[in-house]
Each structure stands twice: as C-alpha cells, then as structure tokens.
Structure 1
Amino acid sequence: MVKKKYKAVIYIVLSAFCFALMGLFVTKSGDLPTMQKVFFRNLFALFIAIGSLKKSGTKFEIGDKKNHAVLFVRAFGGTIGMIGNFYALGKMNLSDALMLNKMSPFFVIVFSYIFLKEKLTRFQLLTVLGAFGGSLFIIKPSFSNVDLFPAICGFLGGMGAGLAYTCVRYLGQHGVKGPVIVAYFSGFSCLFTLPFLIFQFKPMTLAQFLCLLGAGISAAGGQFSITAAYSHAPAKEISVYDYSQLIFTTILGMIFLHQFPDKWSFVGYIIIITMAVLVFIYNNFLHKASDAENKTA
C-alpha cells in the first residue's frame, strides 16, 4: 500500500511537469483559435495513446455499462476543462490562467467525497487549502485587470478537470487501463472540436505547428502519468502534490519567457512544500498511529 502511494506521488509530480510544459507550448503557439489548439493537442496525444495500446497489447476494454458512463463523463469534463484552460491561456496572463486551472484539485476532493464516498479529514482539507494559499503567493493573480469572461472560462476549466480526474480515479479502481482512458478522451476531444476546426481553421507557421506537437506529446505524458497516479492512490492523499506544477511553470518561465519570481513567490514555494511534507507525514505516520490506537481501544 505504501509503495502504491510512493508511485502515485511520483506519477502526479511527473504529470505536473508535463502539463507545465504543455502550458508553455500552448502559450508559445500564439493567436491560433482555441478549438484548433485543443484539436491538434489531442490529435497528437491520440496517436501516442493508440501506439501505446498496440505496443503493450492492451485491448480496448471498458467493462460494464457504468464504466462506459463514467468514461464519457471523464472525456466530456476533460474536454470542457481543456477548452476553458486553453481559452484562458490565450486571453489572460499565463500565471492567472494557471491559478484558475489549479482549482482542479479542490474539485477532485469535492467530487471524490460526493461520488466516490472517500473520507476527508479536517487536517487533509486544511493542508490542501494551505497549498492553495501558497500558490497565491506565487501567482499573485490580478483579476481586477482581467476580463470577466476569460476568468469564468478558466474557473470552469478547473472544474471540468477536477471532474475528469475524479472519474479517472473511479475507472482505475474498476479495471479500466490507463491507455484506454487516454485514447478514449483524446478521440472524444478531437471529434468534439472537429466541427469548430473546419469552420475556424487558421493556417499555421512551422513554429506554431511544432509548438502544438510539443503540447500534444507533453500532454500525453501528463495524461498517462495522472491516470496512473489516481489509479494508485485516493485523490485526497496526492492531489496536493499537483501544485508542484506551479514550481515547474515558474522555472520554465524563467528559462524560456525570462520571467523571474520575486520574494513572495519563494514564500509560496516554502508553503506548498511544507503542506506536501505535512500530508506525507500525516498519511504515512500520524494517520496510521491514530488508526492503531482506535483499533486497540
């Protein structure tokens, strides 16, 4: 069980890096229509997912009818989440858009509590809220300077992503393989955005095409990683580690966008890392000790 948690943490940190890289590529792709960005990002990811299925010899099996319904909700929620996130990335400051997308771990916990009946202690909730507070020091969102509609889209994007990740957790528990989930989602997103692409297609430069290719490859890595993460451990125990994406984004911004964090960003780093360590200690030591005391009482 402990080894599964370690693997889940590694997977979710890896997914955070991949998605940070994806955000950089999407931003670098310029003023292309949002639906065009979403389509090509998922088209490349679809080819990677299909290749993974063939290479591993995994059959495209979903299971019972409930799995089909949950997989559809995962694909729909993930697609809406991505559209909202990409639109926000194109209209808002990169850090503000990321801040709104980072609402997804909160929705993961809420949806996991509602739909998956996973228990949530006050301590775990407080550490997630603490991590969110730390992220504010890094992002320093200035919503007063942003149009309301892009901000709402970004917020809904975080909600859609949270719903999608909750479904991933359920599907992983019920035997649906990660490559199947990724392939279904990527194919669904391509079909969903295809009509918009036909009527709103904008010619791309080679640089823009390569950026979208990079976004698709890094997104596929993020999807495979986060699917594996939520299949190995409950959302409440690992979602806080998703905030490492803020750190990766800052580093990538320094290197490629020449954006340098100030002292308040470093305060945010310390808070987030502290919350992550507290969650780790609680889940692996304090919570176990409490359970042992209750059993012997």
Structure 2
Amino acid sequence: MSNKTKAVFCMLISALGFTFMSVTVKYVTGIPLFEKVFFRNLISLGVAFFMLKKSSTPMFGRRENQLALLARSSFGLAGVVLNFYAIANLTLADSSMLGKLSPIFVTIMACIFLKEKIDSKQILSIIITFLGALLVIKPEFSLEMLPSLAGIMSAAASGVAYTLLRYLKDKESPDTIIFYFSLISVIFTAPFALAEYVQPTFIQLGLLLATGVFASVGQFGITYAYKYAKATEVSIYNYSAIVFGIILGFIFFGEIPDTLSLLGGAIIIAVAFYIFKHNQKK
C-alpha cells in the first residue's frame, strides 16, 4: 500500500476503535469516571510498552521535547476525562459529533502556536461549524447542558493535544508519544481511582479491559495516520466516527438522534469536507 492508503486505513480503524471505546464506556454503569479512565490508559500503557520494547525506541523521548510531551499528555488526559463524562450522559451520536469539533480547535491552536496562516474561508468555516454544534447541543440555561459543555471542552483539550502531536511528529516516535501519554494518565488518575474504587464484576472488568484495547487501537491508528500522511490528506476520514456513532448507538442502546442533531452533524461533516478540499488546494 502507498503511504496515503495506509494513512486512510489507519484513520478509519482509529475512528472505529474510538467509537467502540465509547460503546464500552457508556455500557459500563456503576463504575466511577476516573476508574474507567485509569483502566483505559493502563491497557494503552501495556500495549505502548510492548511496542517500545519491540522497536527499541527510547521510552521518554529526547530531553528537549519533555515540556511538549508533558503538555501533550496533560491536555490529552483532560480531553479523555471530559469525553468520558460526555459519553456517559449524552447519546453516542451527539458525543461523537461534539468530539469531531477538535480539528476546528487544531486549526485555531496551530494558527496561534505553530504560526500557521488561517484565511477568511477557514474563519467562516469555524463559525458555521460552531453553529452546527449548537444544533447538537440545543443550549438551555440548566445543569442539563453540562455534558454538552464537557463535550466541547473535551474537543478543545484534544485540539491542543493534537496540535502538540503535530509539533512532535518529526521529533519523537509515535510509540514514545503514546507511552508517555499513557504513563502520565495512569499516574495522575490512580489516586482518584483508588479513592472511590468500586470492585467491578467479571463482566464489568471485561468491558473495562475492552475499553483500553479499543482506545489503544484508536490511539495508535490516529498517530500512525498522521505519520504516514499530512493532515490535509487524511483528516476528513476521522469524521467517519460520527456515522459509526449513529449506527452503534442505535444497535447497542436503541438511540435515534433527533432532527436537530442530525442537521448539526451534517453541517459539521459538510464544513469539514469543504475545509479538507480547501486545505488540499492551499
């Protein structure tokens, strides 16, 4: 396969992996949030450690990249925690749609921190995308908005993390980046997980372990996708997660998105496709 074909395949596998992770997170009830996040990253840590040993890649990266690796891991962890909260309290389709706002934040952060130029068409697209997100959220001044706000904040945190990932892609191995992120996540979530630990049943334990496996598939998929090709060539395929979310939400939970959510999701995908083609021309 060509590098671009590999990148597209990795991105689709990543989207499917993260969507199945969302299914297991939503399916496991009675387990505290940080315990779910801990198991998710514990499995990823084991997989990343195996990959590092297999390739003889340095575990902690270069000295000059430590601040960027720590920042990428911190924002990535914040994104995961907020995303898990949103998944547990929204329909699978809505949480997937809000999660796909992260490329918009990548564009904004890359403009601010990586000094990438942003034109008027991109600015207009960002505004329209947020209008699409409002159709998904359906704002109201009540506590019921918290999961939707968590979804947006998760996308923002992930956007910063992916911007740092782009900064690190030619400086560190994908295996090192994932290992570093997983290690930081396990260390920081362990005290919270232990403080409110609930002994999982055999089925719950299996689902928690599956969460980590699917997250690893998603994480390695997207990391290698951006290694094999530029974001302008493959980023659009990440939006397949919205379609996967609608299908799997209906299969596992009997969820059917309302008309406004479907319209908002269609706007988000349409604008993403427009920006994808626009960036290719640039």
Contact 1:87 1:150 in 2 (8 A): yes
Cα separation, partners in 2 of 1:210 and 1:225, compared to 1, 3 Å: same
| Alpha-carbon distance in structure 1 between the residues aligned to 2:259 and 2:99 | 23
Q: Which runs of 5+ in 2 are unaligned?
A: none
**Closer, same or farther: CA 29–81 of 1 in aligned 2, 3 Å:** same
| 2:178 alignment partner in structure 1 | 182
Residue 294 of structure 1 is matched in structure 2 by: none
Q: Distance in 2 between matches of 1:280 and 1:155?
A: 21
Give the aligned residue type for 2:170: Q
Q: Do the aligned residues in 2 keep the contact of 1:17 with 1:248 (CA within 8 Å)?
A: yes
The match for 1:98 among 96, 99, 104 is 96
- What is residue 159 of structure 1 aligned with on the other side? 156
Asked whether 1:110 is paired with 2:144, we answer no
AA of the residue aligned to 2:20: L
Partner of 1:58: 57
Deviation per residue, 1:67-126 (Å, 9 max, x gap): 110000011101111111112222344444334433322211111111112233334455
1:3-82 alignment runs, 5 A limit: 7-60=6-59, 62-65=61-64, 67-82=65-80
> 1:141 and 2:137 equivalent?
yes
Q: Which amino acid aligns with 1:35?
A: F
TM-score (norm 1): 0.81
Note if contact 2:137-2:145 (Cα within 8 Å) is conserved in structure 1. Answer: no
> Contact 2:72 / 2:160 at 8 angstroms: preserved in 1?
yes
Could you report, residue by residue, the CA deviation over 1:143-182 in whole angstroms, capped at 9, with x for unpaired residues? 43753444443332222111111111111122x1111111
State the AA in 2 paired with 1:173: D
Other-structure match for 2:87 = 89
Contact 1:60 1:180 in 2 (8 A): yes
Q: Which residue of 1 aligns with 2:197?
A: 201
Other structure's SS at 1:201 match = coil
Mean alpha-carbon deviation: is it higher for 244-253 or for 147-156? 147-156
Counterpart residue type for residue 87 of structure 2: L
Letter in 2 for 1:178: P
* Alpha carbons of structure 1 residues 54 and 219: separation in structure 2 relative to 1, 3 Å: same
Offset at 1:281?
Answer: 4.2
Distance 1:100 1:263, change over 3 A: closer
Partner Cα distance (1:9, 1:126) in 2: 27
* Alpha-carbon separation, structure 1, partners of 2:149 and 2:273: 32
- Worse overlay, 97-106 or 120-129: 120-129
Matching residue's letter, 2:166: R
Q: TM-score, normalised by structure 2?
A: 0.85
Q: Structure 1 residues 280 and 195 mapped into 2: Cα distance closer, same or farther (>3 Å)?
A: closer
Deviations 1:18-38 (A, max 9, x none): 111111110011131110000
Secondary structure of 2:193's partner? helix
Give the 3 Å change call, closer, same or farther, for CA 236–229 of structure 1 in structure 2.
Answer: same
Q: CA, structure 1 residues 134+152, in 2 after alignment: closer, same or farther (shift >3 Å)?
A: closer
Give, as a single letter, the amino acid of the residue that structure 2 aligns with 1:97: S
TM-aligned CA distance change 1:262 to 1:96, over 3 Å: closer
The answer for the alignment partner of 1:290 in structure 2 is none
Q: Report sequence identity in percent.
A: 38
Q: Which AA in structure 2 matches 1:169?
A: R
**Residue 224 (structure 1) aligns with:** 220
Distance 1:126 1:266 in 2: 21
Aligned to 2:245: 249
Shift of 1:272: 5.6
Taking a change above 3 Å as real, the CA distance of residues 166 and 212 of structure 1, as seen in their structure-2 partners, is: same
Q: Distance in 1 between matches of 2:159 and 2:271?
A: 20
